[in-house]
Amino acid sequence: MIAYEVDVENAIRTGELELPEKLRKTIPTNDTGKMPTTDKYDKLKKLKELLDSGILTQEEFKTEKDKVIAEN
């Protein structure tokens, strides 16, 4: 059995996944219309967990961390 992890928030942001209008109104956003900064914190925390568990190498962690930090 293969387990897949889906980054739903990213899929929504990039348009790969579209939410029904009814749900769009319930998603919290900040004044720029983007996801709250806690989203970045959660992503960084998840990346650190992946690094600590050996799933990501230090180089992969740094690359992904830099991407998250650069997000607007």
Rounded Cα–Cα distance for residues 37 and 33 (Å): 12
Q: What's CA 19's distance to the chain center, in Å?
A: 16
CA distances from 23 to 19, 28, 47 (A): 6, 10, 27
Q: Where are the domains of the chain?
A: 8-70
Written as one letter, the residue type at 38 is T
* Higher per-residue pLDDT: 58 or 28: 58
Q: What is the pLDDT of residue 63?
A: 93
- Position 54 confidence tier, pLDDT thresholds 50, 70, 90: very high
Burial 15-29 (b: 16+ CB within 10 A, else e): eeeeeeeeeeeeeee
Q: Among all chains, which residue has been given the structure tokens 């959660």?
A: 42
